[in-house]
A and B are shown apart, each in its own frame.
Chain A
Amino acid sequence: MGGTRKDYSLEELEKMANDIRVDIIKMLEHAGSGHSAGPLGLADIFAALYFHVLKHDPKKPDWNERDILILSNGHCVPVRYAAMAEAGYFPHAELITLRKLGSRLQGHPERKRLPGLETTSGPLGSGLSQAVGMALALKMDKADHRWVYVVTSDGEHDSGNTWEGVMLAAKYKLSNLIAILDRNNIQIDGPTETVMPLESLKAKYEAFGWHVIETDGNNIEAFIDACDMAKAITERPVMIIANTVPGKGVDFMEYDFRWHGVPPGKQDIPGDPPKEEQVKKALAELRTLGGRIRSEHQ
C-alpha cells in the first residue's frame, strides 16, 4: 500500500497553501520571468489536491494505483512545483532553479524532465482531451478506483480542442474524470468576458452533459467537499467550477490581469509598489496573512 498522509487539519492545509504562495513568489523572483496571478490563485486548490484529495506517493511517482493530475494550463506550473516539493517529490532547494538552464523545473511543465508531472503542457486547450484519453484507458482496464483530475483555466475555454474533449467525455460517460476550472476571470489580454465571453460556463457544461459543481476555489474546505461530491456522481464527468481570486494573498496583485504573465520584481506596474519593493511586500503580506486578516476586522 502506498500513498501519503491525508489527515491534515484544515489549519495545516491552509498553512501549506500559504507556504506554497511564499515559494511561488521566491521562485518567480529568482526566475525573473513567469506567471504570478494564476499560480497564487491556485495555491489552495493544489494544497487540497496534494495533501488531501489525491491518492499518490511522492516516492513512487509512477505508482500504478495513483490518481492522475493533469495541469492543462501549464503556465501555472510554479504552484505545482511548489506543492510537489512540499510533498517530497524533490528537494525544496530545487525550486529556485525554475526556468534556469539545465533545470528539471522548466518554464512550462515537461514530463520527461521531472517525474510526477504526468504530461507536458503549455499550449492551451489540450489538457482536458489528454485527461479524457487517460480516463478512457482506465475504463477499458476497469480500474474504477482511480481518478483522473484535470485543472484547466477559463482562458483555455476559448479553444476548440477543449470543447472537443468536453463532448467526448460526455459521450463515453467518463464518471472517473473530474475537471477543475480555475475561474479567475482574467487572461493575458484582459478580463475573460471582454476577450471572449464564456458565460454561462455552468449552463454550457450542463448542456454538454456534464455534472457541474460550483465552489470557492480559495476555500480549502469547500473545495474538498466539492471533490467528495464529484466522486459520488456516476454516469457523467464532473466539472468543478472553482471561483478563484487571481493573485490571491498579495493585495496589489489580486484581481489584476496585468499580473497574469509578469513576475514580481521585474517591472513597475502603475498603481502598484515599485519593482524593487514588490517581492518584499508580497512576502511580508503572505507571512503575516493571519495578522492582516485580523487587522481588517479590527
Chain B
Amino acid sequence: MIEMHLATGKLAEEPIRKGFGRGLLAAGKKLPNVVGVCADLTESTQMYMFADAFPERFIEVGVAEQNLVTVGTGLAALGKIPFVSSYAAFSPGRNWEQIRTTICLNDRPVKIVGSHAGISVGPDGATHQMLEDLALMRALPNMVVIAPADSIEAEKATLAMAQDKRPNYMRVAREATPVFTTAKTPFKIGSAYIFREGSDISLIATGTMTYQAVEAAKLLATHGVKAEVVHVPTLKPLDSQTIINSVAKTKHAITIEEAQINGGLGSAVAEVLGENLPSPMVRMGMRDHFGESGEPEELLEHFGLTAIHIARAAQTMLADHTGHKH
C-alpha cells in the first residue's frame, strides 16, 4: 500500500469552500466566542450555515473588505474569534495593508478565509481568479497560511484555526473537486503529509493540486516511475523537514499549485531546498501571468495544471537529469 490516509473507490465531488462552511458551523457550536463577518458573499463563501445558526454572532459589513478585516481586529481584541470571509481576490486582495498593520503587526487572531482562489474559479475570469494570495499572506510575519486539498480537510482546518492563537489565512476553491481524504487523514497546522510513497521524484503540492499530484503519481507508476506525493496544506509555517526528507530520498522536486509560482508554494520550497538541499526542481503553477474566462477543466488544461501535465513534467525532468528514457 503506497497511498496513505486516502479514500478508495469512486470519489464524491464537493467544493472545498463547503468544508469551510461546515467547519465554521462546527466551530461555532463548540466555541461560543466564534463570530462570523462577511462582505456580501454569505452564500458563496458558505458562511450562511453559521449565519443561520448564530444570527446574533454574525455581522454583515456589505461590500467593504477593508472594514471586513478591521472590524475583525476589533472583535478579536475583545476575545472573539472572528472568521472574516470574502472572495480571495478582495480579501486579502484589497485589504492587505489593514491585514498587515491591524492583524499581523498587532498580532490579533483574526481568521481570514478567501474563497474562489485559483484558476478553477472559471468563467468569472481573471479579476476573480485570485492567484497572488499565497504570496501576499506568506510575506507577512505572524501569519499562518493554509490551503486545504478538499472539503474534508477544509473542515478540519477551520476547526484547527478556531483554536489557533495566531492570525490565519485559508484559501478555498469554488469548483467541486474530488473528496479524496477521509475523516482519518491527519491534519495539523504546520504539518506536511506524505500521501503516497515513492523514491524517484517528489511531487510537492498544495490545495486542489494535491489530488492532481496523486493522480499523476498513479500515471507515472504505470510507466515504472515511483513518485512520492507530499501534500503541503500549511504553506506557513512550512514543514521544511518533511520536504527535505522526501527530496533527500528522491533527488527531484516538482511543486504544483493553483497560484503564482512567484511567492507561492514553488517559492517556499525553493527557499527551503536552496538553503538546505539544493536539488533539481520544477515549479508548476501560474507563471507570472493572469488567468481568463473558461470552464474550470478547460482552464486547468490550458495552464497545464492536470495530472497528465504533471506526469509529463516528471518524466521530462527525470530524463533530463538522469538520462533515463521513459
Contacts and interface: CB of A to CB of B under 8 A. Distances in A.
Interface string B72-107: 111111111010000000000000011001100111
A132 B71 contact: yes
Contact of A160 (B66, B76, B82, B97): B66
A129 B79 contact: no
B101 A130 contact: no
Nearest to A159: B66
B72 A133 contact: yes
A118 B78 CA distance: 10
B173 to A, nearest CB: 27
Interface stretch (A94-102, A135-143, A263-271): A135-143
B57 A133 contact: no
Given A132-B67, A141-B78, A164-B67, 20 more contacts: A110-B106, A119-B73, A120-B101, A121-B102, A122-B101, A126-B70, A126-B101, A130-B73, A133-B70, A133-B76, A133-B77, A133-B78, A134-B78, A137-B35, A138-B78, A161-B67, A161-B98, A164-B61, A165-B67, A168-B71
B101 A136 contact: no
Given A126-B101, A140-B56, A111 B106 contact: yes
Interface of B: 35, 56-57, 59, 61-62, 64, 66-67, 70-80, 82, 97-98, 101-102, 105-107
A16 B233 CA distance: 55
A131 interface: yes
18 contacts: A119-B73, A120-B105, A120-B106, A126-B101, A129-B71, A131-B74, A132-B67, A133-B71, A133-B77, A135-B74, A136-B71, A137-B75, A141-B78, A161-B70, A164-B62, A164-B66, A165-B70, A172-B59
A115 B268 CA distance: 35
Interface in A72-128: 110-112, 118-123, 125-126
Chain A interface category by residue count: 20 to 34
B326 to A, nearest CB: 54
Interface string A130-172: 1111111110110000000000000000001100110110001
Given A120-B105, A165-B67, A129 B74 contact: yes
Interface of A: 68, 110-112, 118-123, 125-126, 129-138, 140-141, 160-161, 164-165, 167-168, 172
A130 B72 CA distance: 7
Contacts of B102: 119-121, 126, 130
A110 B74 contact: no
A129 B67 contact: yes
Nearest to A160: B66
Contacts of A172: 59
Contacts, number: 101
A135 B97 CA distance: 22
A138 B74 CA distance: 10
Given A140-B35, A165-B67, A121 B101 contact: yes
B66 A129 contact: yes
B153 to A, nearest CB: 29
A168 B67 contact: yes
A32 B67 CA distance: 35
Contacts of A164: 61-62, 64, 66-67
Contacts of A111: 106-107
Given A110-B105, A119-B106, A126-B98, A136 B66 contact: no
A64 to B, nearest CB: 9
B41 to A, nearest CB: 16
Contacts of B71: 129-130, 132-133, 136, 165, 168
Nearest to A131: B74
Contacts of B76: 133
A43 B110 CA distance: 33
A130 B80 contact: no
A247 B35 CA distance: 42
B74 A134 contact: yes
A134 B70 contact: no
A165 B67 CA distance: 6
